[in-house]
Structure 1
Amino acid sequence: MKFRRPRKAVLMVALVVTLALLCCGGSVTVLLLNGVINDNERSFLNASLGCGKGGAVDPDSKMPDISGYNASQIRNAAIIINVGSDLGLPPRAWVIAVATAMQESALVNLGHLGKRNDHDSQGLFQQRPSSGWGTPAQVRDPVYASTKFYSKLQTIPGWDKMPLTDAAQAVQISAYPDAYAKHEPLATQIVNMLADGAANAVGNSVAMECAASGAVAASGWTIPLKGPVGSGFRSRSRPNHQGVDISVDKYRPIFAVASGVVSMVKCDEDFRGRKTCNVDGYPGKGGCGWMVEIIHAGNVMTRYCHMVQRPFVRENQQVAAGELLGRVGSSGNSSGPHLHFEVHLGNDRSSAGATDPVRFMQQQGAPLGNEE
């Protein structure tokens, strides 16, 4: 079977587009005569913005090198992406599907493995003929199997807003419901490599500003809030500054940048051991003030400091990307209202685990530093 390339988007004559473009940091206003933007038009506009062009490479072409996966496995990922594109689904669905197949089959189109099989599960998604997924031959057809996965995914209310592992589990009903989350970072990378940055594409928005609009990128990441980045990561003047400061007015809402589990909520002690977070701090006071930490897929931890009041979330609470955490303040070691935002790799709270949030968030398709 010859696999088709994803259909290229075509803007109809009836579409009036006004572009004010500063590459993902600027704004793009799309005005449609009928007030509707479809998925193909959205993909075209994402490409125009440089925010993810959408559509996989030809599965018959040479596959890129991705550590841990051979060309045949990556070709199967390309087929999964192509099917999602042909169905008109957004790149977030492709990431979910690829991550699911990574967990279920390591992107290998498995036949019946006898006693090693989980019941009669077969194919990329380990779908069971006895459970109504199709005949053995059908579930071993990557195009058919991908189509069935996407069809079931679309029946899950709010699948595009769920943490990836919840959406995948709702389709697969696995005995290991939390197993999918660990594949999200690499699945995002695979989609980006095969589909020319598609995982950085925006979701549903008529006023399209890439992920900088506050929309959740297909990678599952978004920005904590809009605002200019002031003091940067480990700058010359502040070599021990383990995050970045986003300077905005007090009481501005702060959002979770990705789905995860809240690992810490506290009033951080100052240098004198005091927990005085309900008042404005000052330089030299010490401490993060009211703060939140979240553990995300891939053992990435994000930290949010200097909130004006006790955060709105609690420890061990599951949060979704874009969920409200609290409000901007100036508690702790602070010279004025701002969000101090950190990203730590390997769930390492120390300075050794800290990485530059600007660079990291850019890689997730959710660039920081965008003003209102």
Structure 2
Amino acid sequence: MAAPVVGVAIKTLGKRFLKGFAKQQVRRRIQGSGGGSKRTWLIVLVAAVTAFLPIALVVGIGATTMALFAPFGGGEDDQALASDCFGQPQQVLQAANGPSAVGMSSLDEDQKKNAQTIIATGKELKVPAYGWVVAIATALQESVLRNIGYGDRDSVGLFQQRAPWGTFDERMDPIISSTKFYTGSGHGHRGLLDVPGWQSMSVTDAAQEVQVSGFPYAYADDEPLARRLVELYGDGAQLPGDCGLPPALQCPETDLAAENGLTQDALIVIRCFHKSFPEVETYYGVGERQRPDGDHINGRAVDAMIPDYKSAAGNALGWRMANFAKANASRMGVEYVIFDAQIWSVNRNDQGWRPYESNIPGCTTDNCMHLNHVHVSVFGNAAVLPDTGEWVLPVPPDSYRLTARFGACGDRWSNCHTGLDFAAPGGTPARAAAAGTVIYAQASGGAYGNMVKIQHANGVETRYCHLRSISPGALGASVIAGQMIGEVGTTGNSTGNHLHFETRVDGVAQDPEIFLRFHGVQP
């Protein structure tokens, strides 16, 4: 047991060391003090290996060596998932390393107590509940909600505040450090309440305005757990954009002509954009952007025209909207987003934002490259509950293809296939096929990966496997047909994003295709 434990510790320390150095280099560049030369990076690489190699040799080359060199190669785990509105949070002292794997069950009493302190301090200061989410997400990212007396250079405490924020004792006091996060340090550092319009910003943008981190998008991964903690300890506080169950974001109708002809998902996008970003007045839907092969003509796209888009403020507004759509993709049925010559899509989520090339040959105008507007394409009817019968498809219509049927046998399975596989982009909503009670919702640790089981009437049970994420609060919930219970993924024994769907009667697996057809649903 010693080797794996020390290996994880070394991996963690190595990541913190390198990321701390990276932050330092970013800050030096911002401040104009240079740094970050190839020679400097080579020195720090050699220093890191030299510092940790003796430990690796003492403990054993196996797991420890792999842990030691993991920070220098390979990508991050694909776990930045939208289990709530904004992705899935992460674990101990990898707070400075982006995605990890922390959930509510991983938090100890000390971490929960620190979350309660942040909330209580926010209440005392009359900070709106959304501010508590921002503060807790920040503390999760910076310290994993641990009041640690060390960090990058002179950073300490829950928020890893540096010396200008206050004395060591002040920064190590959870109440004082939380107060400083909300109100500022009194030494030139502004707090959350000093940030104009913070309540309309995404959590990661609001946190960055206070923290000024070299990794400005890191806080988004911690929002779901932060919301869950506020839900638990916030005495029923209502949160904007708190999706919960059922999935779709609920925003009021607008009087915009662009609403005409839009699908349900596109209506959610335009209405939530309109509510969250009132400074944007012009939207295009079906009539204004028609192309024979485009999403607009089918009511599956919305363009939000950014005022003064060439200015820094206009560009920043566009990015807030684009990241809002990305972060809420599963709650708005978003398939892909384009802005500022960059594109993000559900089925290539692990690649993040990537360069966009216009599908109009030779077109490089601001409009073609989406410099002047945020384009959002949707699945059509993925984010709202269907008004069909008692049984529905476990994934939205037109979002999937069937890739394996019940009873299929071969090298892909240890036994013959016990379900029906719906191949769909990662992040596609997985839905309860009928009303029932969620009796299981967790990582199975085996071939099924992340799995949800729902108990229905007459001894019927349905299973939803390989999920990328599970909707928060799902376990024990009473759900209705079509209610979102997770997102399609590729966890467990899986070769690609798909939902493995099973139907069982009194514990015996039945053919889901026949079962669904019997209940009026055509897969």
* TM-score bin (small chain): 0.3 to 0.5
Q: Which has the higher contact order (CA 8 A, sep 6+)?
A: 1
Taking structure 2 as the reference length, the TM-score comes to 0.35
The structure richer in helix per residue is: 2
TM-score of the aligned structures, taking structure 1 as reference length: 0.47
Larger Rg: 2
